[in-house]
Amino acid sequence: MRLDHSACNGVGGRQTDSELRPSETRRCRPPVGDLYLRMSGTSMATPHVTGAATVLKQQHPQWTPQRLKAVLMASAKHNAGPDPNAQGAGGEVRVSFSVEREVESYDLTLVHTGRDGAAATLFNTLVQGLDADWLEGVSTDSTTTLRLPKGRYTIDSAIIEDGAATQLVQPVVDLTAGPSTVRLDARLGRPVRITVPDRTAIPVSAELSTREHVFGGTTNLGGFFTASFDGLFSARIGPDSSGPGPVTTVVGGRWARPGPGGSIVDSAETYVLYWFHEGHMDSGFQRTVTKSDLAAVTLDVGSTAAGVESWTDAAASTASGDENLIGYGVPLHAPFTRATATDATGGAVEQTVIRAYRIA
């Protein structure tokens, strides 16, 4: 649409008095193309100066109105043409700015629910990028919406309640075609239970964890590391990967046969058991282990002096490099010979290393 410049009596002219109210005068300046007019007066200056003041206030929210005015006036460029009655005490105010265009992004809404069906109050959730370097944590509002760049993500959530802890993992969330909602409901969690051959053995350490292989070859760790599997639950959210995915589940721990007084010090028999489910997230895990499932390792440790305190440690790993995180030592007094039973058929276990350390 072209502007009509006929209201001006020539370039730089003045409208006729009959076209203006008695109190109104208006000057027209040379037109700028077909879409703009040059005009003067406070009606044009006010929005520009207001915008400049807003930009300064955003950068310096603690500044008073008086300081904002002083900075604008001091930084204004003096125009040598008009007199102060025409241009004011300052002159021309110019503000540099840029507009950052959002990359293609979509909303990801996370809804956290406890095992009682109510909104979860204590939780920690990590959203990690599979296609880009992105890591964001959520631990406050039970329903939270994140604005994320287009791509694929993995979600790892831990919901903590009285007597229960649930790990919920969605290996892949596809955020490439539109918004998505992920419901992290602890009621989906299934129990984790492992029974060893010696029913008198007691748990010493327990690990329910995941390894998330995300963008850039980074491996992040999530899950629970505690004294037993009592009250631990896990669940996969969403469909499982059709092939090996970015998440590996690790379940395992150590058990020891207590002595007559109930102590595990100098335990006669210990169990070191770990299972790795590479590329998948498990919904619960239950296993009853028999002696035929295990390989017996006899550990013979000597010492130059009797009664030296020591402890043993064990580490299991896979061919791809995933390994258990904790190896809780069972205190033993050297010299000693002890039997340790390790898992020989636990999925992807590549090797189990047992070490003995001298403490004093």
Nearest-5° Cα angle at 258, 292 to 286: 45
Over pLDDT 90: what percentage of the chain? Answer: 32
pLDDT at 72 (0 to 100):
77
pLDDT tens for each residue of 19-63 = 444 444 445 556 666 766 666 666 667 787 888 888 888 888 888
How do strand 336-343 and strand 269-277 relate by DSSP bridges?
parallel
Compute the average pLDDT of residues 101-122. Answer: 94
User: Residue 335's CB: how many other CB atoms inside 10 A?
Assistant: 15
Asked if residues 227 and 207 have their Cβ atoms less than 8 Å apart, the reply is: no
Using DSSP's 3-state secondary structure scheme, residue 27 falls into strand
Residues 171 and 154: beta-carbon distance below 8 Å: yes
Say if residue 352's pLDDT is above 60: no
Work out the mean pLDDT of the chain and round it to a whole number. 78
Window from 123-127, 172-176, 227-231, 287-291 with minimum mean pLDDT: 287-291
Predicted confidence band of residue 81 (pLDDT cuts 50, 70, 90): low
Confidence of residue 8 (pLDDT cuts 50, 70, 90): low
Q: Flag the least confident range among 8-17, 214-223, 334-343.
A: 8-17
Indicate whether 351 pLDDT > 80. Answer: no
- Which among 189, 149, 153 is positioned nearest to 168, based on CA atoms? 189
pTM of the model: 0.67
Question: 200-232, pLDDT tens digit by residue?
Answer: 999 988 999 998 888 888 888 889 989 899 999
Question: What's the pLDDT at 248?
Answer: 87
pLDDT at 327 > cutoff 70:
no
pLDDT of 220 reads 83
Name the nearest CA neighbour of 321 among 359, 357, 358, 350: 350
Which of 140-154, 329-343, 345-359 is the most confident on average? 140-154
Q: What was the pLDDT predicted at 193?
A: 94
Q: What is the mean predicted confidence (pLDDT) over 303-312?
A: 69
For 220, the 3-state DSSP assignment is strand
| Model pLDDT for residues 184-203, shown as the tens digit of each residue | 999 999 999 999 988 999 99
Q: Which residue has the higher pLDDT, 123 or 306?
A: 123
